[in-house]
Amino acid sequence: MSESTAPTRPLRDRALDLLKWLAMLTMVMDHLRYVGWHADWLYVPGRLAFAWFCLAIAVNVARSVSRPVEPRIRWKYLTWLAVFSVVAEFPYRLYMADEVTTLNVLPTLVLGLLVAQGVISRTWPMRIMGVVALGIGVAFGSHLMFGAYGVLLPTAFLLVLRGSLWLAVLPGVVCLLSNEWPKIIDGMLWGDPISIGALISCLLGPWLGLALLRWRTAPAVWPMRRWAYLIYPAHFLLLFGIRHAIAA
């Protein structure tokens, strides 16, 4: 869920938009588990969603490095994320009432964006904001979806974005740590297929995302602009309605 203002998108942007749509799709699939159907297997593709959103953030941060001027804090981007962090909290808690243990995912993405911008910046204000964001992520990790490791995931992608695909092992490990890795590992040792699938999804998801971004012939998809922020709170309300329709 990132902001784009280019009127004409190059081929590489098609791959990025496709990545964001796939992230949205896997997110909705993950949340379908709480509609009332017996579909625990959706936990496996659901592990891809957060990783791919973080990758999209890393791509946008990396683009600012290639510009001739010093990258600035992307206040509009941060503002939209922050505003919808608040807007989405009620629909999130309404739908996930019995499962809520953290804030919705957007605050984690806000902090992750600040940390990533601080890492690539050559100015002290941005570096300080990045350090403060990381400190908040560590101090309040138990209240954040995907915790402190989730805050670090965009930066992990940023460090390997222009390197070999083999380096995707780094964000793969961070992705695993940001999920319920003790339960995943324990379930895998017991031979649980969902846990095994989740482990593979966490470790290979970043690699798949990076590979997708290098797909030069990616099909054109509907570009995601600012309206895409509405999808996050709206899909909770839609799924809430579906659950009540099923229960009726």
Cα-atom radius of gyration of the chain, to the nearest Å? 18
* Separation CA 108–CA 3 (nearest Å): 17
* Separation CA 72–CA 64 (nearest Å): 8
pLDDT of residue 119: 92
Predicted structure pTM score: 0.91
Residue with tokens 């509609």: 35
First to last CA, the chain: 34
pLDDT of residue 6: 39
The encoded tokens of residue 119 equal 């890492």
* Separation CA 51–CA 172 (nearest Å): 9
In contact, 208 and 51? CB cutoff 8 Å: no
In tens digits, what is the pLDDT along the chain, a chain of 248 residues?
544 443 344 444 789 999 999 999 999 999 999 998 889 999 999 999 999 999 999 999 988 766 555 556 677 888 999 999 999 999 999 999 988 999 999 999 999 999 999 998 888 889 999 999 999 999 999 999 999 999 999 999 999 987 788 889 999 999 999 999 999 999 999 999 999 999 999 999 999 999 999 888 878 889 888 899 999 999 999 999 999 999 87
* Separation CA 202–CA 179 (nearest Å): 8
Contacts of 66 (CB under 8 A, 6+ apart): none
